[in-house]
Amino acid sequence: MPLWQFCRGLPKAELHVHLEGCLEPDFLLELARRNEVAVPWETAEQLREAYRFRDLGSFLDLYFAGCQVLCDQRDFYELTTAYLDRAHQDGVAHAELFFGPQTFIERGIPVGVQLEGILDAVADAGARTGISASLLVSAHRHRTDDDAFALLDSVGPWADRIAGFGMGGAEVGNPPEKFVRYFAELRRQGFKTCVHAGEEGPADYVRQAVELLGVDRVDHGITILDDEDLVREVAAAGTPLTVCPISNVRLRTVPSLSEHPLPRMLAAGLNVSLHSDDPAYFGSGLADTYTATAEGVGLDRGTLTELARNSVRASFLPHASRQALLSRIDAVAPADC
């Protein structure tokens, strides 16, 4: 079986994917026309040419510009549906979707319009294809903790349909310690939590995430290798790290796939899994991410299978659902793993 076919057929969980980052160029331009939003690109080819990112900041500028074309419930529904259909084809059995309502709240789009569109699409995709999906509400770290608390209040009516809360955005100058009160409140209310740390920020941001915020997962986390004591502590605790190798290369936090720290993270016993981050902007869905990473850093199929298992174990699914997905992985795993 070719590697790409193995990667596509391997059941896995996608835990680190931003719904806004699933806005494919053709669909972005279609929404711009439909909603009469002016954008600086006339063709999908021109838009793809803009995907030559210098760093995380240049990516976020374009990412938030793209968000301007999402305006009504139908838009959020169609965006979610398009991602889930592709993910199903990529062998994603369960997806946990980051979504940042603050971007749209500031434009006057009601939270209900956003979340109902997404949640309706999740339900319909599950009924149509069997894919499992849930919502992670993501706060922006460049905003204040008061803004994060306001976000938490605004999504309250949908709390029983939210799997957890995350935080993303530009790390530099926005350490996790800014949000100690907010994450304490999330824990008090019983929510699962995760935070982006150690993508472009230092290893100390990963330490703050686990020690000050008490998160269940760390998103990215690749700079953890700069702190050997922290590596040992996080490995012993088994805290999951959702790693996005293609994203790291495209945003130049890592020079190339062959130089990605993933093998060193695995050798150190860290609990890592693979994810696509923003597949429309980085040109790599989850199956492509598995394939390219395996070829780039030299992973065998047994290691890929264990990475898929890690993704399921790290999910916020109930125990019984995780066990059912692990059984699906066992059914297709190579004989020696």
- The phi, psi pair for 294, rounded to 5°, reads -60, -45
Average pLDDT over residues 271-277: 98
Q: Per-residue pLDDT tens for 51-63?
A: 999 999 999 999 9
Question: What pLDDT, on the 0 to 100 scale, is given for residue 308?
Answer: 98
Please report the pLDDT score of residue 335 as a whole number. 73
Say what the pLDDT of residue 327 is. Answer: 97
Whether residue 80 lies inside any domain: the answer is yes
Q: What H or E segment, with its residue span, contains residue 208?
A: helix 203-211
In a domain? residue 18:
yes
Catalytic, out of 199, 211, 228, 233: 199
Instruction: Give SS3 for 292.
Output: helix
pLDDT at 336 over 90: no
Tokens standing for residue 333: 């795993």
- Asked if pLDDT for residue 133 goes beyond 90, the answer is yes
Quote the DSSP letter at residue 69: T
pLDDT per residue as tens digits for the range 134-174 = 999 999 999 999 999 999 999 999 999 999 999 999 999 99
Residue 195 CA to residue 125 CA, distance in Å, equals 27
Q: How confident is the model at residue 333 (pLDDT cuts 50, 70, 90)?
A: confident
- pTM for the full predicted model: 0.97
State yes or no: pLDDT of 252 exceeds 80. Answer: yes
Average pLDDT, the chain: 97
pLDDT at 337: 62
- Note if 199 is an active site residue: yes
Quote the Cα angle for 156-161-167, to 5°: 70
Average pLDDT over residues 234-259: 97
Q: Which amino acid is at 123?
A: A
Please give the average per-residue pLDDT across 198-220, as a whole number.
98
Asked whether residue 333 is assigned to any structural domain, the reply reads: no
Task: Provide the token pair at 68.
Answer: 């301007």
Task: Output the pLDDT for position 184.
Answer: 98
Residue 303 has pLDDT above 90, yes or no: yes
Residue 243's domain is classified under what CATH number? 3.20.20.140
The reply to whether 292 falls in a domain is yes
Residue 328: inside a domain = no
User: pLDDT at residue 45 above 80?
Assistant: yes
Q: Where are the beta strands (DSSP E) in 169-296?
A: 192-197, 217-220, 240-243, 271-274
pLDDT at 82 over 70: yes
249 lies in some domain: yes
pLDDT digits 0-9 by tens, 173-205: 999 999 999 999 999 999 999 999 999 999 999
- For the chain, give the percent of residues with pLDDT over 90: 98
Provide, rounded to the nearest whole percent, the portion of the chain with pLDDT above 70.
Answer: 99
**The domain containing residue 127 runs over which residues?**
3-315
User: Residue 334 has what pLDDT?
Assistant: 80
What's the confidence (pLDDT) of residue 289? Answer: 98
Tally of domains within the chain: 1
